[in-house]
A and B are shown apart, each in its own frame.
Chain A
Amino acid sequence: MLGQLFALLIFPAGLFVLVNGLVYHWISRKLVARLQNRVGPRWFQPVADIVKLLANEEIIPAGVNARLFAALPVVALAGALTAMLYLPIAGLPPLHNFPGDLIVTVYLLSLLTLCTGLAGAISKGRFSVIGATRVLTQLFSYEAPFLLALLGPAFVAGSWQIDEIMAHASGQWLMLTQPIGFIVALIGLMGKLEITPFDAPEAETEIVAGALTEYSGRGLALFLLGREVELVGGLTLIAAFYLGGLHNPLDYVVKTLLLLLGVAGIQTVMARLRIDQTVGLWWRYGALLALVQWLALLVSQGVFV
């Protein structure tokens, strides 16, 4: 019982994931800075940001449902942390698994996005409402191709359970046999995390902070922590499926950092897309590529032969 509680709250879920998220967030910022020929923040910057936000006064805008306003960040972070239970964090086998936990995990990772959209919709500011619209529009664009890309390895493994898929993917690097699926998954992750070029929902030069404009203090801190947990979760999922599975902590660190470098590189060389351009891109090229990948898989598995 104590062992389970420890595993749930400290390591490998819970506190470890939060710290991991903060470290990866820092690494991503440092990488982007070095790619832009500048120095970048020091290691404690993300920690300092969260600590400062937790200490700030939380202002609830007038006329807003206070309970919902305060509950949404908690639900978002809880969803993201719960998704971690089914993922092989730190290369150790997932804490829990059951058939179909891939879908549950993907849904829980989307819970954060839904909560962000709802949070923007209920705070009555103009920027929040536009931000919320953009968040949800973007969710509808990348979600389908992203899910299809994650289901590719599942189909080949013949199971919807994460550790079985990972076991099947362990020998071979599916990145090489399903390259299109890998690319769609990685870019889909960037859409989910609202990273340039898909950061229209929080375009600071247009709508201040988007859906989270009215949030401050603890609520904002929890949302930001949720985003960082999601970064770790997304990277773990893609590394587990496409980069040959995660079997030990060293494996985990190397593979997820490799993916992080790729994400940081793409982020640096691209400009922001408008929301209508994002939708157009995903529904034309994203969906097309995912379907092409699936067709290739179906043919190779002998479904049509």
Chain B
Amino acid sequence: MKIAMMLRDVLRSLFRKPVTELYPAQRQPTPVQLRGKLHWNPEKCTGCCLCIKDCPCDALELITIDKANKRFVMRYDVGRCTFCAQCVQNCRFNCLGMSSEDWELAATDKAPFTIYYGREEDVQSILDCFAETGDRAEE
């Protein structure tokens, strides 16, 4: 009849540090494959919209500034994204990638959750447009 079979584990733990990671004081390094926040590079985008077609959560939207010159702005809603990386799979020109460092995405209000990716001047023109019309839905 054996009792207290966990005794050896328990006694060993008395002489060891606890295994708890004291986040946020200590942070383990994240693996390279971690699927964190999405990043988009506008330089190679052709506007095929395959990423948007297969996104399960409607987190991506492509706003066309100039179709002939392939100038687009992508609106990415972090709050809706499930970080599945289907968009990364679909893109044939490697415009999209998921960051392995940007994964602490908590914020105290909704503003940081809508991200506009694109060239500086394009994003600015979009934001000015919204400020003028005052209503995002009309864009």
* A–B in direct contact per CB < 8 Å: yes
Residues of A within 8 A of B (CB): 33-40, 265, 268-270
Given A269-B4, A270-B4, A39-B10 contact (CB < 8 Å): no
* Residues of A with C-beta under 8 A to B16: 37
Instruction: Tell me whether B10 and A268 are in contact (CB under 8 A).
Output: yes
16 A-B residue pairs with CB within 8 Å: A33-B18, A34-B14, A34-B18, A35-B13, A36-B10, A37-B9, A37-B13, A37-B19, A39-B18, A39-B20, A268-B6, A269-B3, A269-B4, A269-B5, A270-B3, A270-B4
CB distance from B21 to the nearest CB of A (A): 10
Instruction: Tell me whether B14 and A35 are in contact (CB under 8 A).
Output: yes
Bin chain B's interface residue count: 10 to 19
Q: How far is the CA of A299 from the CA of B3 in the complex (A)?
A: 32
CB distance from B2 to the nearest CB of A (A): 11
Q: How far is the CA of A270 from the CA of B3 in the complex (A)?
A: 8
Instruction: Tell me whether B14 and A38 are in contact (CB under 8 A).
Output: no
Q: How far is the CA of A270 from the CA of B7 in the complex (A)?
A: 9
Q: How far is the CA of A81 from the CA of B48 in the complex (A)?
A: 77
CB distance from A127 to the nearest CB of B (A): 29
Residues of B within 8 A of A (CB): 3-7, 9-10, 13-14, 16, 18-20, 22
* Residues of A with C-beta under 8 A to B4: 269-270
Instruction: Tell me whether B20 and A34 are in contact (CB under 8 A).
Output: no
* Residues of A with C-beta under 8 A to B7: 269
CB distance from A32 to the nearest CB of B (A): 10
User: Which interface residue of B5, B10, B22 has the most chain A CB atoms within 10 A?
Assistant: B10
* Residues of A with C-beta under 8 A to B10: 35-36, 265, 268-269
* Residues of B with C-beta under 8 A to A268: 6, 10
Which B residue's beta carbon lies closest to that of A33?
B18
17 A-B pairs besides A269-B10, A270-B4 with CB distance below 8 A are A34-B14, A34-B18, A35-B13, A35-B14, A37-B9, A38-B18, A38-B19, A38-B20, A39-B20, A39-B22, A265-B10, A268-B6, A269-B3, A269-B4, A269-B5, A269-B6, A269-B7
Top 8 A-B residue pairs of the complex, sorted by shortest distance between their CB atoms:
A269-B4, A37-B13, A39-B18, A35-B10, A39-B20, A37-B19, A38-B18, A269-B6
Q: How far is the CA of A34 from the CA of B11 in the complex (A)?
A: 10
* Residues of B with C-beta under 8 A to A265: 10
Which A residue's beta carbon lies closest to that of B21?
A39
CB distance from B124 to the nearest CB of A (A): 48
Q: How far is the CA of A35 from the CA of B14 in the complex (A)?
A: 6
CB distance from B35 to the nearest CB of A (A): 28
